[in-house]
Structure 1
Amino acid sequence: MPSTLGFAILAALAKGAKTGYELTAVMNRPVSYFWTARHSQIHADLQKLLTDGLVRFEAEHGPGPQGKKVYHLTSEGRAVLREWVTEPPRARTERDELVLKTFASWLADPAEMAELFRVQLALHEERIAHYEHQQASFERTPDPGEPAFGNYATLWCGLSYERHRAAWCRWMIERLDPAA
Protein backbone atom coordinates (compact mmCIF):
# COMPACT_ATOMS: atom_id res chain seq x y z
CA MET A 1 0.00 0.00 0.00
CA PRO A 2 1.51 3.36 -0.98
CA SER A 3 2.07 6.13 1.54
CA THR A 4 -0.13 9.20 1.38
CA LEU A 5 2.65 10.92 -0.57
CA GLY A 6 2.66 7.92 -2.92
CA PHE A 7 -1.04 8.46 -3.52
CA ALA A 8 -0.38 12.16 -4.19
CA ILE A 9 2.18 11.10 -6.82
CA LEU A 10 -0.27 8.62 -8.35
CA ALA A 11 -2.93 11.35 -8.47
CA ALA A 12 -0.53 13.70 -10.27
CA LEU A 13 0.40 10.98 -12.77
CA ALA A 14 -3.28 10.14 -13.33
CA LYS A 15 -3.54 13.54 -15.04
CA GLY A 16 -0.66 12.72 -17.38
CA ALA A 17 2.93 11.50 -17.69
CA LYS A 18 5.56 13.58 -15.92
CA THR A 19 9.28 13.65 -15.30
CA GLY A 20 10.61 13.69 -11.74
CA TYR A 21 11.20 17.43 -12.10
CA GLU A 22 7.61 17.96 -13.29
CA LEU A 23 6.30 15.88 -10.36
CA THR A 24 8.25 18.09 -7.95
CA ALA A 25 6.75 21.18 -9.63
CA VAL A 26 3.22 19.76 -9.28
CA MET A 27 3.94 18.97 -5.63
CA ASN A 28 4.99 22.61 -5.17
CA ARG A 29 1.84 23.98 -6.84
CA PRO A 30 -1.01 23.14 -6.54
CA VAL A 31 -0.52 20.07 -4.30
CA SER A 32 1.48 21.99 -1.68
CA TYR A 33 -1.66 23.91 -0.78
CA PHE A 34 -2.81 20.74 1.02
CA TRP A 35 0.16 18.32 1.05
CA THR A 36 3.86 19.10 1.20
CA ALA A 37 6.89 17.02 0.22
CA ARG A 38 10.55 17.60 -0.54
CA HIS A 39 12.17 16.37 -3.77
CA SER A 40 14.05 13.65 -1.86
CA GLN A 41 10.77 12.34 -0.40
CA ILE A 42 9.10 12.35 -3.81
CA HIS A 43 12.03 10.46 -5.35
CA ALA A 44 12.00 7.82 -2.59
CA ASP A 45 8.25 7.23 -2.90
CA LEU A 46 8.50 7.17 -6.69
CA GLN A 47 11.02 4.34 -6.39
CA LYS A 48 8.62 2.39 -4.14
CA LEU A 49 5.81 2.92 -6.64
CA LEU A 50 8.08 1.59 -9.41
CA THR A 51 8.98 -1.47 -7.35
CA ASP A 52 5.31 -2.11 -6.63
CA GLY A 53 4.43 -1.84 -10.33
CA LEU A 54 2.10 1.13 -9.83
CA VAL A 55 4.13 3.39 -12.12
CA ARG A 56 6.58 2.82 -14.95
CA PHE A 57 8.91 5.08 -16.83
CA GLU A 58 10.29 5.48 -20.29
CA ALA A 59 13.71 6.94 -20.91
CA GLU A 60 13.77 9.87 -23.30
CA HIS A 61 16.42 12.26 -24.52
CA GLY A 62 16.87 15.15 -22.13
CA PRO A 63 17.68 18.76 -22.86
CA GLY A 64 21.36 18.16 -22.06
CA PRO A 65 23.68 15.18 -22.21
CA GLN A 66 21.61 13.29 -19.61
CA GLY A 67 18.47 11.41 -20.51
CA LYS A 68 15.24 11.89 -18.62
CA LYS A 69 12.68 9.48 -17.23
CA VAL A 70 9.04 10.12 -18.00
CA TYR A 71 6.79 8.41 -15.46
CA HIS A 72 3.38 6.95 -16.28
CA LEU A 73 0.63 5.51 -14.12
CA THR A 74 0.09 1.79 -14.76
CA SER A 75 -3.37 0.22 -14.88
CA GLU A 76 -2.60 -1.32 -11.45
CA GLY A 77 -1.66 2.13 -10.16
CA ARG A 78 -4.90 3.62 -11.46
CA ALA A 79 -6.92 0.81 -9.81
CA VAL A 80 -5.15 1.28 -6.45
CA LEU A 81 -5.65 5.05 -6.65
CA ARG A 82 -9.33 4.68 -7.61
CA GLU A 83 -9.92 2.38 -4.61
CA TRP A 84 -8.01 4.66 -2.20
CA VAL A 85 -9.87 7.83 -3.24
CA THR A 86 -13.17 6.61 -1.78
CA GLU A 87 -11.74 5.22 1.48
CA PRO A 88 -12.22 7.36 4.60
CA PRO A 89 -9.06 9.35 5.39
CA ARG A 90 -6.91 8.25 8.30
CA ALA A 91 -7.36 10.21 11.50
CA ARG A 92 -4.75 12.93 11.72
CA THR A 93 -3.25 14.71 14.63
CA GLU A 94 -3.99 18.41 14.57
CA ARG A 95 -0.95 20.61 14.99
CA ASP A 96 -1.67 24.29 14.72
CA GLU A 97 0.93 26.49 16.39
CA LEU A 98 -1.20 29.64 16.18
CA VAL A 99 -4.06 27.91 18.00
CA LEU A 100 -1.59 26.64 20.62
CA LYS A 101 -0.27 30.20 21.09
CA THR A 102 -3.86 31.41 21.39
CA PHE A 103 -4.46 28.84 24.12
CA ALA A 104 -1.67 30.49 26.15
CA SER A 105 -2.36 34.05 24.97
CA TRP A 106 -3.64 35.15 28.38
CA LEU A 107 0.03 35.25 29.42
CA ALA A 108 1.04 37.75 26.72
CA ASP A 109 0.60 41.46 26.27
CA PRO A 110 -2.70 41.91 24.36
CA ALA A 111 -1.16 44.50 22.02
CA GLU A 112 1.61 42.05 21.06
CA MET A 113 -0.92 39.30 20.48
CA ALA A 114 -3.05 41.66 18.38
CA GLU A 115 0.02 42.40 16.24
CA LEU A 116 0.67 38.67 15.83
CA PHE A 117 -2.88 38.26 14.56
CA ARG A 118 -2.56 41.28 12.24
CA VAL A 119 0.45 39.63 10.61
CA GLN A 120 -1.45 36.34 10.30
CA LEU A 121 -4.48 38.16 8.90
CA ALA A 122 -2.32 39.76 6.21
CA LEU A 123 -0.97 36.31 5.22
CA HIS A 124 -4.46 34.83 4.98
CA GLU A 125 -5.75 37.80 2.99
CA GLU A 126 -2.81 37.40 0.59
CA ARG A 127 -3.70 33.73 0.09
CA ILE A 128 -7.36 34.61 -0.40
CA ALA A 129 -6.44 37.05 -3.16
CA HIS A 130 -4.18 34.43 -4.78
CA TYR A 131 -6.87 31.73 -4.60
CA GLU A 132 -9.56 34.09 -5.89
CA HIS A 133 -7.30 34.94 -8.84
CA GLN A 134 -6.91 31.21 -9.56
CA GLN A 135 -10.65 30.67 -9.22
CA ALA A 136 -11.33 33.45 -11.73
CA SER A 137 -9.20 31.59 -14.28
CA PHE A 138 -11.84 28.85 -14.48
CA GLU A 139 -14.42 29.65 -17.15
CA ARG A 140 -16.91 27.38 -15.43
CA THR A 141 -17.12 24.85 -12.63
CA PRO A 142 -15.69 21.60 -14.06
CA ASP A 143 -17.87 18.49 -14.05
CA PRO A 144 -16.92 15.81 -11.47
CA GLY A 145 -15.61 13.49 -14.21
CA GLU A 146 -13.09 16.04 -15.52
CA PRO A 147 -9.48 16.12 -14.23
CA ALA A 148 -9.85 19.86 -13.51
CA PHE A 149 -12.67 19.13 -11.04
CA GLY A 150 -10.18 18.04 -8.36
CA ASN A 151 -8.22 21.27 -8.82
CA TYR A 152 -11.38 23.35 -8.54
CA ALA A 153 -12.72 21.45 -5.51
CA THR A 154 -9.45 21.70 -3.58
CA LEU A 155 -9.21 25.39 -4.48
CA TRP A 156 -12.73 25.92 -3.12
CA CYS A 157 -11.72 24.16 0.11
CA GLY A 158 -8.58 26.31 0.37
CA LEU A 159 -10.59 29.50 -0.13
CA SER A 160 -13.09 28.47 2.53
CA TYR A 161 -10.27 27.67 4.97
CA GLU A 162 -8.44 30.96 4.36
CA ARG A 163 -11.64 32.98 4.69
CA HIS A 164 -12.43 31.21 7.96
CA ARG A 165 -8.92 31.86 9.33
CA ALA A 166 -9.06 35.51 8.26
CA ALA A 167 -12.41 35.92 10.03
CA TRP A 168 -10.97 34.29 13.16
CA CYS A 169 -7.93 36.60 13.04
CA ARG A 170 -10.23 39.63 12.78
CA TRP A 171 -12.27 38.35 15.73
CA MET A 172 -9.10 37.90 17.79
CA ILE A 173 -7.85 41.39 16.90
CA GLU A 174 -11.19 42.90 17.99
CA ARG A 175 -10.95 41.09 21.34
CA LEU A 176 -7.29 41.93 21.92
CA ASP A 177 -7.41 45.54 20.72
CA PRO A 178 -10.90 47.02 21.18
CA ALA A 179 -9.72 50.29 19.63
CA ALA A 180 -8.96 48.55 16.31
Structure 2
Amino acid sequence: MPSTLGFAILAVLARGARTGYELTAVMGRPVGYFWTARHSQIHTDLQKLLADGLVRFEAEHGPGPQDKKVYHLTPEGMAALRAWVTEPPRARPERDELVLKTYASWLADPAEVAGLFRAQLALHEERIAQYESQQADFAETPSLGEPSFGNYAALWCGLSYERHRADWCRWMLARLDATPRADGLRAEGSSEDPRRDTGH
Protein backbone atom coordinates (compact mmCIF):
# COMPACT_ATOMS: atom_id res chain seq x y z
CA MET A 1 0.00 0.00 0.00
CA PRO A 2 1.59 3.32 -1.03
CA SER A 3 1.84 6.17 1.45
CA THR A 4 -0.42 9.18 1.03
CA LEU A 5 2.48 10.96 -0.66
CA GLY A 6 2.78 7.97 -2.96
CA PHE A 7 -0.85 8.35 -3.95
CA ALA A 8 -0.28 12.07 -4.49
CA ILE A 9 2.50 11.17 -6.94
CA LEU A 10 0.21 8.67 -8.68
CA ALA A 11 -2.50 11.34 -8.91
CA VAL A 12 -0.08 13.71 -10.64
CA LEU A 13 1.16 11.04 -13.06
CA ALA A 14 -2.43 10.05 -13.87
CA ARG A 15 -2.69 13.41 -15.65
CA GLY A 16 0.33 12.67 -17.83
CA ALA A 17 3.89 11.37 -17.89
CA ARG A 18 6.49 13.60 -16.24
CA THR A 19 10.19 13.72 -15.52
CA GLY A 20 11.36 13.76 -11.94
CA TYR A 21 11.98 17.52 -12.21
CA GLU A 22 8.49 18.14 -13.59
CA LEU A 23 6.97 15.94 -10.91
CA THR A 24 8.71 17.91 -8.15
CA ALA A 25 7.53 21.18 -9.69
CA VAL A 26 3.89 20.05 -9.79
CA MET A 27 4.16 18.68 -6.26
CA GLY A 28 5.25 22.17 -5.20
CA ARG A 29 2.33 23.89 -6.91
CA PRO A 30 -0.58 23.32 -7.07
CA VAL A 31 -0.39 20.07 -5.08
CA GLY A 32 1.82 21.76 -2.49
CA TYR A 33 -1.10 23.94 -1.45
CA PHE A 34 -2.72 20.92 0.18
CA TRP A 35 0.01 18.28 0.43
CA THR A 36 3.60 19.41 0.91
CA ALA A 37 6.70 17.26 0.51
CA ARG A 38 10.42 17.79 0.09
CA HIS A 39 12.24 16.65 -3.05
CA SER A 40 14.00 13.90 -1.09
CA GLN A 41 10.64 12.57 0.16
CA ILE A 42 9.20 12.58 -3.35
CA HIS A 43 12.25 10.73 -4.70
CA THR A 44 12.04 8.10 -1.95
CA ASP A 45 8.35 7.39 -2.53
CA LEU A 46 8.83 7.39 -6.29
CA GLN A 47 11.42 4.63 -5.92
CA LYS A 48 8.96 2.63 -3.80
CA LEU A 49 6.29 3.02 -6.47
CA LEU A 50 8.78 1.79 -9.07
CA ALA A 51 9.67 -1.23 -6.92
CA ASP A 52 5.98 -2.06 -6.44
CA GLY A 53 5.33 -1.91 -10.18
CA LEU A 54 2.89 1.00 -9.90
CA VAL A 55 5.11 3.34 -11.91
CA ARG A 56 7.54 2.83 -14.79
CA PHE A 57 9.82 5.15 -16.71
CA GLU A 58 11.14 5.54 -20.22
CA ALA A 59 14.58 6.97 -20.94
CA GLU A 60 14.56 9.86 -23.40
CA HIS A 61 17.26 12.15 -24.69
CA GLY A 62 17.58 15.21 -22.49
CA PRO A 63 19.17 18.61 -22.93
CA GLY A 64 22.36 17.41 -21.22
CA PRO A 65 24.69 14.47 -21.79
CA GLN A 66 22.49 12.10 -19.76
CA ASP A 67 19.09 10.71 -20.74
CA LYS A 68 16.10 11.89 -18.75
CA LYS A 69 13.61 9.53 -17.12
CA VAL A 70 9.96 10.12 -17.97
CA TYR A 71 7.68 8.45 -15.42
CA HIS A 72 4.19 7.12 -16.10
CA LEU A 73 1.56 5.00 -14.36
CA THR A 74 1.29 1.31 -14.99
CA PRO A 75 -2.18 -0.31 -15.23
CA GLU A 76 -1.62 -1.55 -11.66
CA GLY A 77 -0.83 1.98 -10.53
CA MET A 78 -3.99 3.36 -12.13
CA ALA A 79 -6.09 0.60 -10.53
CA ALA A 80 -4.58 1.30 -7.09
CA LEU A 81 -5.22 5.02 -7.46
CA ARG A 82 -8.84 4.52 -8.54
CA ALA A 83 -9.49 2.23 -5.57
CA TRP A 84 -7.86 4.69 -3.15
CA VAL A 85 -9.82 7.75 -4.30
CA THR A 86 -13.08 6.64 -2.70
CA GLU A 87 -11.61 5.18 0.50
CA PRO A 88 -12.10 7.21 3.71
CA PRO A 89 -9.03 9.38 4.41
CA ARG A 90 -6.61 8.16 7.02
CA ALA A 91 -7.03 9.65 10.47
CA ARG A 92 -4.47 12.33 11.22
CA PRO A 93 -3.63 14.22 14.40
CA GLU A 94 -4.96 17.75 14.65
CA ARG A 95 -2.02 20.11 15.03
CA ASP A 96 -2.56 23.83 14.68
CA GLU A 97 0.18 25.85 16.34
CA LEU A 98 -1.63 29.17 16.00
CA VAL A 99 -4.69 27.79 17.79
CA LEU A 100 -2.41 26.35 20.47
CA LYS A 101 -0.79 29.76 20.91
CA THR A 102 -4.27 31.30 21.14
CA TYR A 103 -5.15 28.82 23.88
CA ALA A 104 -2.24 30.19 25.92
CA SER A 105 -2.55 33.81 24.74
CA TRP A 106 -3.99 35.00 28.07
CA LEU A 107 -0.40 34.91 29.37
CA ALA A 108 0.90 37.45 26.85
CA ASP A 109 0.52 41.18 26.31
CA PRO A 110 -2.62 41.67 24.15
CA ALA A 111 -0.74 44.14 21.96
CA GLU A 112 1.91 41.52 21.12
CA VAL A 113 -0.73 38.90 20.45
CA ALA A 114 -2.51 41.39 18.19
CA GLY A 115 0.74 41.89 16.27
CA LEU A 116 0.94 38.14 15.73
CA PHE A 117 -2.60 38.04 14.37
CA ARG A 118 -2.10 41.07 12.13
CA ALA A 119 0.84 39.26 10.54
CA GLN A 120 -1.21 36.07 10.15
CA LEU A 121 -4.10 38.01 8.64
CA ALA A 122 -1.75 39.53 6.06
CA LEU A 123 -0.54 36.06 5.09
CA HIS A 124 -4.09 34.76 4.67
CA GLU A 125 -5.15 37.81 2.66
CA GLU A 126 -2.15 37.31 0.37
CA ARG A 127 -3.11 33.68 -0.18
CA ILE A 128 -6.74 34.69 -0.83
CA ALA A 129 -5.56 37.09 -3.54
CA GLN A 130 -3.50 34.30 -5.13
CA TYR A 131 -6.42 31.87 -5.07
CA GLU A 132 -8.88 34.42 -6.44
CA SER A 133 -6.46 35.17 -9.28
CA GLN A 134 -6.27 31.47 -10.11
CA GLN A 135 -10.05 31.12 -9.82
CA ALA A 136 -10.45 33.86 -12.42
CA ASP A 137 -8.65 31.59 -14.92
CA PHE A 138 -11.72 29.31 -14.92
CA ALA A 139 -14.44 30.64 -17.21
CA GLU A 140 -16.82 28.10 -15.68
CA THR A 141 -16.80 25.14 -13.31
CA PRO A 142 -15.16 22.17 -15.09
CA SER A 143 -17.11 18.97 -15.55
CA LEU A 144 -16.58 16.23 -12.97
CA GLY A 145 -14.86 13.89 -15.45
CA GLU A 146 -12.18 16.44 -16.39
CA PRO A 147 -8.80 16.55 -14.60
CA SER A 148 -9.25 20.32 -14.19
CA PHE A 149 -12.27 19.67 -11.96
CA GLY A 150 -9.89 18.38 -9.28
CA ASN A 151 -7.86 21.58 -9.57
CA TYR A 152 -10.99 23.70 -9.26
CA ALA A 153 -12.39 21.74 -6.31
CA ALA A 154 -9.07 21.89 -4.42
CA LEU A 155 -8.80 25.61 -5.18
CA TRP A 156 -12.33 26.21 -3.86
CA CYS A 157 -11.50 24.32 -0.67
CA GLY A 158 -8.31 26.33 -0.20
CA LEU A 159 -10.10 29.61 -0.83
CA SER A 160 -12.85 28.75 1.66
CA TYR A 161 -10.26 27.80 4.28
CA GLU A 162 -8.20 30.98 3.82
CA ARG A 163 -11.31 33.15 4.05
CA HIS A 164 -12.36 31.36 7.22
CA ARG A 165 -8.92 31.85 8.80
CA ALA A 166 -8.87 35.50 7.78
CA ASP A 167 -12.29 36.03 9.37
CA TRP A 168 -11.06 34.34 12.55
CA CYS A 169 -7.97 36.59 12.63
CA ARG A 170 -10.19 39.66 12.27
CA TRP A 171 -12.43 38.39 15.09
CA MET A 172 -9.38 37.88 17.30
CA LEU A 173 -8.06 41.35 16.50
CA ALA A 174 -11.41 42.88 17.41
CA ARG A 175 -11.28 41.14 20.78
CA LEU A 176 -7.63 42.04 21.36
CA ASP A 177 -8.05 45.68 20.37
CA ALA A 178 -10.70 45.98 23.07
CA THR A 179 -8.44 44.45 25.75
CA PRO A 180 -6.37 46.82 27.93
CA ARG A 181 -2.65 46.16 28.10
CA ALA A 182 -0.73 45.85 31.33
CA ASP A 183 0.32 49.51 31.03
CA GLY A 184 -3.28 50.66 30.76
CA LEU A 185 -3.26 51.22 27.00
CA ARG A 186 -5.35 49.23 24.58
CA ALA A 187 -3.74 47.08 21.95
CA GLU A 188 -1.89 48.92 19.19
CA GLY A 189 -4.20 49.92 16.38
CA SER A 190 -7.18 50.58 18.64
CA SER A 191 -8.68 54.05 18.54
CA GLU A 192 -9.65 53.77 22.18
CA ASP A 193 -7.36 54.82 25.02
CA PRO A 194 -8.61 54.50 28.59
CA ARG A 195 -6.38 57.39 29.66
CA ARG A 196 -8.37 59.76 27.45
CA ASP A 197 -11.46 61.13 29.08
CA THR A 198 -12.91 64.20 27.46
CA GLY A 199 -15.26 64.61 30.38
CA HIS A 200 -12.37 65.49 32.76
Mark yes or no: TM-score above 0.5: yes
Residue of structure 2 in register with 1:106 after alignment: 106
How do residues 1-180 of structure 1 correspond to structure 2 at under 5 angstroms? 1-178=1-178, 179=190
Deviation at 1:150, TM superposition (A): 0.4
Gaps of 5+ in 1: none
TM-score by length of 2: 0.89
**3-state DSSP of counterpart to 1:70:** strand
**3-state DSSP of counterpart to 1:16:** coil
CA offset digits 1:117-166 (Å, max 9, x no partner): 00000000000000000000011110110000000000000000000000
Q: Work out the CA distance in 1 between the residues paired with 2:94 and 2:66.
A: 43
Q: Work out the CA distance in 1 between the residues paired with 2:115 and 2:165.
A: 15
**3-state DSSP of counterpart to 1:89:** coil
Gaps of 5+ in 2: 179-189, 192-200
Deviation at 1:75, TM superposition (A): 0.9
Runs of 4+ displaced beyond 4 Å: none
**3-state DSSP of counterpart to 1:71:** strand
Work out the number of aligned pairs and report it.
180
Amino acid at match of 1:6: G
Q: Work out the CA distance in 2 between the residues paired with 1:120 and 1:45.
A: 33
Q: Work out the CA distance in 2 between the residues paired with 1:139 and 1:14.
A: 24
TM-score by length of 1: 0.99
CA offset digits 1:106-126 (Å, max 9, x no partner): 000001101100000000000
**3-state DSSP of counterpart to 1:94:** coil
Q: Percent identity?
A: 82
